[in-house]
Amino acid sequence: MQPRKGQTPIFVEVFKSHPRGNNRQIRKKEERGGPIEIDLSGPEGNAFVLLGYAANFCKQLGYDELRTERILDEMRLTDYEGLIHTFDREFGLLVTLWR
């Protein structure tokens, strides 16, 4: 269906009125702002890597040294499942863990 003379095609009007109408839809990976995801079955699931992530998150969240050491000590004092449990309890709102 052709628009009448002097009319704008309907899809152009819808596109212009859409909140993201003129924004790019393909973005670079660096622009991601979503939740952090860690695959426990891959190299990121290594206990030492998770301890490193925990220390980094504590620093970024502004935890004092005592709180950081308590979290890391609890992670070190248990087996792998306990380490994951503590990590998830402390940082589960920021990080999604995948098995």
pTM assigned to the model: 0.67
Of residues 6 and 43, more confidence is placed in 43
Q: Return the CA Rg of the chain.
A: 23
Of residues 78 and 34, more confidence is placed in 78
Could you identify the residue written with the tokens 């449990």? 85
Beta strands in the chain (DSSP E): 36-39, 95-98
Mean of the per-residue pLDDT values of the chain = 81
What pLDDT is recorded for position 35? 77
What pLDDT is recorded for position 1? 52
Residues in a beta bridge with 98: 39
Q: What is the pLDDT of residues 18-28, one digit of tens each?
A: 455 445 556 56
Q: What is the pLDDT of residues 55-70, one digit of tens each?
A: 999 999 999 999 999 9
**Residue 91 Ramachandran class (φ > 0 left, ψ -120 to 50 alpha, else beta):** alpha
**Does residue 86 register a pLDDT over 80?**
yes
Taking the C-alpha atoms of residue 76 and residue 61, their distance in angstroms, rounded to an integer, is 20
**Residue 93 identity:** L
**Across residues 72-87, what is the average pLDDT?**
97
Structure tokens at 61: 């969240």
Taking the C-alpha atoms of residue 1 and residue 6, their distance in angstroms, rounded to an integer, is 14
Could you identify the residue written with the tokens 């920021």? 94
